[in-house]
Amino acid sequence: MGSLQISKVEALVAQDQKFISTLTSYSLVLIIYANLNILQSSVLGVAASILYFLINGIFLGRAFFEKEDTFFRLMLGLLLFIMLLGFVGWFAVIIYNLNATMSSLVLFVVATICSLINRKVNHKKCHSASKG
Amino acid sequence: MPLGKQGLTRFLHISEIFYSFLVSLLFYLLLLSRTGEARTVWEVLHPAFIPTLFIASSLLFIILFTSEKVAHNLLFIIVHSVLIHSLFSIIFPAGDLSGQQMVLGRTRLVYDNAIVHGWPPWTVETVPFQIYEWFKGQSFQAALSVVLSRMLSIDIFWVHLSLIPVLWGFFTPIAAFLVTKTLGGNDKAAVLSSLLLSAFPYITYFGAISVPISLGFIFFFYSLFFVLKNLDSSGYSKNTLLMWAFSVLSFLSHSLTGIMSFSLLFLAMVYKSYRSEKKASPAAVKILLAVSFLFCASLLPLSLVYLRFFAPVLYTSFTLDKFYTLPAEEIVGLFFLGELIYGFDIQTILLVAMGPFLALLYAIYLLYRFRRNSTAKYRTQISFLFVAYLIILIDYRILKLFMTELPFNAERLWVIDGFLASPFLGLAICSATSSLKKLLKTTSPQTMSIISRSSLSWRRVLRIGGLLFTLNILTPIILGGWISYSLHTAYPQIAPLQTTWYELEAVKYIEENTKEKYIVIGDQWTTFAGEVIVGVNNPRAYYFLEFNRTGYDLFRKILEDPSPQVMIEAMNVNNARVAYFIVTEPRLGTEEFNRVVYQTLKNQQLRVFGIFGGGKLFVFTYEKT
């Protein structure tokens, strides 16, 4: 039952209808940025980060591990997301630095990449479904 | 639901609840053991921790043998894994001394925006060295930690300390599970291998320290999984992309894991072409396979030698010195047991060697079983993993016996060895328990009927009782004991005094109460404490690099002559206005500490800035007028 509900939420996020998931992801980046500069609250930071992680982890999990079970899809999606975050962050650090603005920019870029990958996969699915 | 099944479900629920309670208790015991002054975790670890861990591990094995829910089982294993890898970060105030603190010292510079013009934070003379610094691993880990730290709005200190224990705890059991599945193991064998990772002391140790190579090991394990998956797929697939992506990330994290990932990736490519072309030209592809094996085995040693073209600080080379200088028995010992021949007791040697040895035996057995069936499912994956295992065995011996001035300990390869061994170990144990179950099944119908007639022979009772005991009690107890003893071996028994609470307090106090640029003269232990709070070589709050000659000389000089002249000399390094001199009793020895403190106070030229740890640490200061 619980697993079924998680799958439903996952499908809803991955559908990204009217860019709702992507926009939520961007809003979370804004919240993280504001929190970094103004509030500096760990509670808000952790809450926003968990949501941000989940949305983008689901995007990548659905795109790359669709055939796996929900648990593995989510975990592998999260791992890919952490990899991507590290890679874009690494690129930023070797060319410039990682201050608050650059870190938020990294989050923005990663969210965009995840969203684009997800849209591409969704588009492929729609295309093959309409063909079928 | 039949009564038997219902009873089993109830037993499982009770076991799961009891296990959850035990794990919570274990975390609580770790928190109780937290200390501000200790050398090893064993000095302060709660006496109930190891017995409770043994019971919890055995119970977890019972759950794994009984339950069918994979996700539930893996969640339990993840929690167990995080616990096992958190001893340093929970017990010590600044985690394990040295390595991971040095990484944090450099990461701090990024976090505190002390560097603004790209990595590395220090000047490098040549372009190849610059490239080497980019790919060294510290930059990748620093970037990941800093981004996570900013996202969570938690200080980099805490993010860095928990980064590897958490990532390792979460992702290595899943990787072991997935690799075992690609070898044809069922869910039970796969979850067993996930938990059996904790039976390898080197795996436990590297999962407990936040250093770049640990991150590299995680990515290596996943690159191995996708390499194995890719062996089955034809042409370009998502697995191919992921195989490359994880190998690149593994390389970005550490050269050792990266080179090993790429050598296995290359071997996989040759394996695939071998499979597709072996019918057309069998002799040619066999030669290609043999040459590729040699190439892959030599990739790591050769790369380490050629790394010096990028980094002028490396002097790795091939040598036969050990054969000329060491006695023959030591050479033989090093060949078979490696570093274990130096000062390890027989139990430790057995514990470290047992897992890989059993795994190797089982891999050979599997290959022997498949010898006449070239189309057997999973044969390719099993033989590939076996060949990968051989490469590690060969590379370790080359590094240990034929090379000198390595940039890291050759024993780090034992982590990869453990990764390759755990799936075979899971398969072997699962196969053994399945055989026992089959034996029990063939006996049990007779048993039931005979029990009801009360005419069961004692021999049969003993046999069935023995089987039941072995399956349900003895096996989980042995495996639980193995994991607990492995933990005992994984965490060092001897170590220098870890960074103490008063050293951290002193460093924080200086940082919070100094507005101007400052420099600190102290021993390397002071540097370790300083770098976790303000970083190392931070131009605003300067601590010398851990093994810096100038820093060491200044410290020796001020111990002999605690005068403003030495402080002024230090201030010139970063053009500081204030200098501090830290002296700590447990580091210096009581007699020397008392002499230095007495002499400094007597001179009255340096002001006491603070006293910490009830008089164990003095901070003296001098300000430019």
Tell me which of B390, B407, B427 is where a domain ends.
Answer: B427
Report how far residue B17's alpha carbon sits from residue B21's, in angstroms, rounded to the nearest whole number: 6
Tell me whether residue B134 is in a domain. yes
Token pair for A76: 């592998």
* Cβ pair A45:B152 closer than 8 A: yes
Question: In chain B, count of helices (H) and strands (E)?
Answer: 28, 7
Report the residue of chain A nearest B252, measured CA to CA: A87
Beta bridge partners of B317: B404
Tell me whether residue B103 is in a domain. yes
Give the pLDDT confidence score for residue B164 in this predicted structure: 97
- Domain ranges for chain A: 22-125
pLDDT in tens, A85-104: 999 999 999 998 899 999 99
Looking at the structure, tell me whether residues B516 and B415 fall in a common domain.
no
* Cβ pair B147:A103 closer than 8 A: yes
Task: Identify all chain B residues contacting A40, using CB atoms and an 8 Å cutoff.
Answer: 153
- Kindly state whether B140 is in contact with chain A, defined as any CB-CB distance less than 8 angstroms: yes
538-577 of B, contacting A, C-beta below 8 A: none
| Domain tally, chain B | 2
Tell me whether residue B493 is in a domain. no
Task: Identify all chain B residues contacting A41, using CB atoms and an 8 Å cutoff.
Answer: 153
Least Cα separation, residue B146 to chain A (angstroms): 7
Q: What is the mean pLDDT of each run of 10 residues along chain B (625 residues)?
A: 70 93 97 96 96 96 88 95 96 92 93 80 84 89 96 96 96 97 93 95 96 96 95 82 96 95 94 81 85 94 90 89 93 91 86 92 92 80 94 96 93 96 95 85 60 63 77 88 94 94 96 94 94 91 91 94 92 93 95 95 90 95 88
* Cβ pair A89:B71 closer than 8 A: no
Tell me whether residue B466 is in a domain. no
Token pair for B525: 């232990």
Best A25, A93, A105, A117 member to test B by mutation, with max B CBs in 10 Å, is A93
Report how far residue B608's alpha carbon sits from residue B617's, in angstroms, rounded to the nearest whole number: 11
Looking at the structure, tell me whether residues B334 and B199 fall in a common domain.
yes
Tell me if B114 sits within 8 A of B156, measured CB to CB.
Answer: no
Report how far residue B137's alpha carbon sits from residue A86's, in angstroms, rounded to the nearest whole number: 11
Tell me whether residue B465 is in a domain. no
Looking at the structure, tell me whether residues B106 and B237 fall in a common domain.
yes
Interface of A with B (CB under 8 A): 3, 32, 35-36, 39-42, 44-46, 48-49, 52, 64, 69-72, 75-76, 79-80, 82-83, 85-87, 89-90, 92-100, 103-104, 106-107
Task: Identify all chain B residues contacting A39, using CB atoms and an 8 Å cutoff.
Answer: 153
Looking at the structure, tell me whether residues B129 and B260 fall in a common domain.
yes
- Kindly state whether B78 is in contact with chain A, defined as any CB-CB distance less than 8 angstroms: no
> A116 falls in which pLDDT band (50, 70, 90)?
very high
In 3-state terms, what secondary structure has residue A64? helix
Going by C-alpha positions, the residue among B521, B586, B606, B529 that lies closest to residue B108 is B529
- Kindly state whether B242 is in contact with chain A, defined as any CB-CB distance less than 8 angstroms: yes
Give the pLDDT confidence score for residue B1 in this predicted structure: 46
Tell me which of B373, B397, B427 is where a domain ends.
Answer: B427
Task: Identify all chain B residues contacting A70, using CB atoms and an 8 Å cutoff.
Answer: 71
Report how far residue B193's alpha carbon sits from residue B195's, in angstroms, rounded to the nearest whole number: 5
Tell me which of B382, B405, B427 is where a domain ends.
Answer: B427
Task: Give just the sign of the alpha carbon dihedral B286, B292, B293, B295.
Answer: positive
Average pLDDT of the residues in A60-72: 92
Going by C-alpha positions, the residue among B495, B385, B589, B541 that lies closest to residue B38 is B495
User: What are the DSSP calls for B215-230, one per residue?
Assistant: HHHHHHHHHHHHHHHH
> Strand B317-318 and strand B403-404: pairing?
antiparallel
Residues in Cβ contact with B612 at an 8 Å cutoff, skipping those fewer than 6 apart: B502, B503, B505, B506, B509, B619
Task: Identify all chain B residues contacting A49, using CB atoms and an 8 Å cutoff.
Answer: 148, 151-152
Give the pLDDT confidence score for residue B420 in this predicted structure: 96
Least Cα separation, residue A18 to chain B (angstroms): 26
Task: Identify all chain A residues contacting B143, using CB atoms and an 8 Å cutoff.
Answer: 86, 89-90, 92-93, 98
Token pair for B179: 């690799």
Tell me whether residue B174 is in a domain. yes
Looking at the structure, tell me whether residues B508 and B390 fall in a common domain.
no
In 3-state terms, what secondary structure has residue B603? helix
Looking at the structure, tell me whether residues B394 and B518 fall in a common domain.
no
Tell me if A66 sits within 8 A of A76, measured CB to CB.
Answer: no
Looking at the structure, tell me whether residues B537 and B408 fall in a common domain.
no
Least Cα separation, residue A7 to chain B (angstroms): 14
Tell me if A14 sits within 8 A of A58, measured CB to CB.
Answer: yes
Phi and psi, residue B352, nearest 5°: -70, -35
Looking at the structure, tell me whether residues B416 and B542 fall in a common domain.
no
Range of the domain at B87: 3-427
Q: What is the total residue count of chain A?
A: 132
Least Cα separation, residue A28 to chain B (angstroms): 10
Least Cα separation, residue B272 to chain A (angstroms): 22
Q: How far is CA B487 from the centre of its chain?
A: 12
Residues in Cβ contact with B318 at an 8 Å cutoff, skipping those fewer than 6 apart: B301, B305, B402, B403, B404
Compute and round to an integer the Cα radius of gyration of chain A: 16
Least Cα separation, residue A23 to chain B (angstroms): 18
Looking at the structure, tell me whether residues B121 and B240 fall in a common domain.
yes
Report the residue of chain A nearest B70, measured CA to CA: A71
Looking at the structure, tell me whether residues B522 and B394 fall in a common domain.
no
Q: Classify residue B576 as exposed, middle or buried by CB count within 10 Å of its CB (0-12, 13-18, 19+).
A: buried
Best A35, A98, A121 member to test B by mutation, with max B CBs in 10 Å, is A98
Q: How many CB pairs under 8 A join A and B?
A: 111
Q: Classify residue B72 as exposed, middle or buried by CB count within 10 Å of its CB (0-12, 13-18, 19+).
A: middle
Q: How far is CA B274 from the centre of its chain?
A: 35
Tell me whether residue B486 is in a domain. no
Nearest to A95 among B118, B148, B219 (CB): B118
Task: Identify all chain A residues contacting B74, using CB atoms and an 8 Å cutoff.
Answer: 71
Tell me whether residue B361 is in a domain. yes
* Cβ pair B150:A36 closer than 8 A: yes
In 3-state terms, what secondary structure has residue B618? strand
Token pair for B499: 């960074």
- Which amino acid is it at B141? Q
